[in-house]
């Protein structure tokens, strides 16, 4: 599990109070980064399929509305840019039948869960395209701030290495 994915999971668990299942393997070398369930007082469970695509590289940091091409995704020099498109998430992270089938095994029914992309900002065009595709965008920087706030006020000893590191960093400043 990548560090950014662990931070997103920490946000869901410790800030929002959701149940999570990370890194679910699917057929065909697909993977679900994170499933989260938000328990509600009335017994309803809100469900979330969360995918992280965080890059701090200047030219590839924001999510874009540029065209996605499965063929260009295979070209080494174009991979990073392709992974920063809304189309990449629509077609590679949320759309494949292998992912849909695995989601069904966990009780996720099409149209009854939120599809969330965590990214380091986005263009206005990407936001419009994501809205049209039914995707919810979360800014990783905002999640980090909320996790840091939680760590600074929490007296709990976190055994999760990533969260413990963040907690120590926040307390040292």
Look at the block and give the residue holding tokens 């099409």: 110
pTM above 0.75, yes or no: yes
Query: In the prediction, which pLDDT does 135 show?
Result: 98
pLDDT tens track for 40-98? 888 778 999 999 988 777 666 899 999 999 999 899 988 888 999 999 999 999 999 99
The SS3 of residue 122 is strand
d(CA 116, CA 109): 15
Alpha-carbon distance values, 153 to 15, 55, 140 (Å): 11, 28, 20
Contact 154, 10 (CB under 8 A): no
Domain contains 170:
no
pLDDT tens track for 23-45? 999 999 899 999 999 988 887 78
pLDDT band at 169 (very low <50, low <70, confident <90, very high): confident
Domain contains 171:
no
d(CA 17, CA 102): 24
Domain contains 73:
yes
CATH classification at residue 62: 3.40.1350.10
Domain contains 67:
yes
Q: Crossing angle, helix 161-172 and helix 140-153, to 10 degrees?
A: 70
More confident residue, 172 or 157: 172
Domain count along the chain: 1
Task: Quote the domain boundaries for residue 133.
Answer: 3-165
How large is the greatest C-alpha to C-alpha distance in the chain, in angstroms? 50
């Amino acid at each position: 599990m990548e560090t950014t994915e662990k931070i997103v999971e920490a946000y869901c668990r410790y800030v929002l109070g959701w149940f999570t299942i990370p890194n679910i393997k699917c057929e065909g070398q697909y993977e679900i980064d994170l499933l989260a369930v938000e328990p509600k007082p009335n017994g309803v469970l809100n469900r979330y399929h969360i995918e992280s695509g965080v890059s701090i590289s200047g030219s590839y940091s924001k999510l874009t509305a540029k065209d996605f091409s499965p063929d260009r995704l295979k070209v080494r020099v174009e991979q990073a840019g392709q992974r920063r498109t809304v189309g990449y998430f629509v077609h590679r992270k949320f759309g494949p039948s292998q992912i849909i089938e695995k989601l069904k095994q966990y009780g996720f029914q099409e149209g009854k869960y939120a599809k969330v992309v965590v990214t380091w900002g986005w263009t206005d065009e990407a936001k419009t395209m994501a809205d049209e595709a039914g995707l919810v965008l979360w800014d990783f920087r905002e999640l980090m701030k909320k996790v840091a706030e939680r760590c600074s006020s929490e007296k709990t000893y976190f055994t999760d290495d990533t969260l413990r590191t963040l907690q120590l960093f926040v307390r040292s400043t």
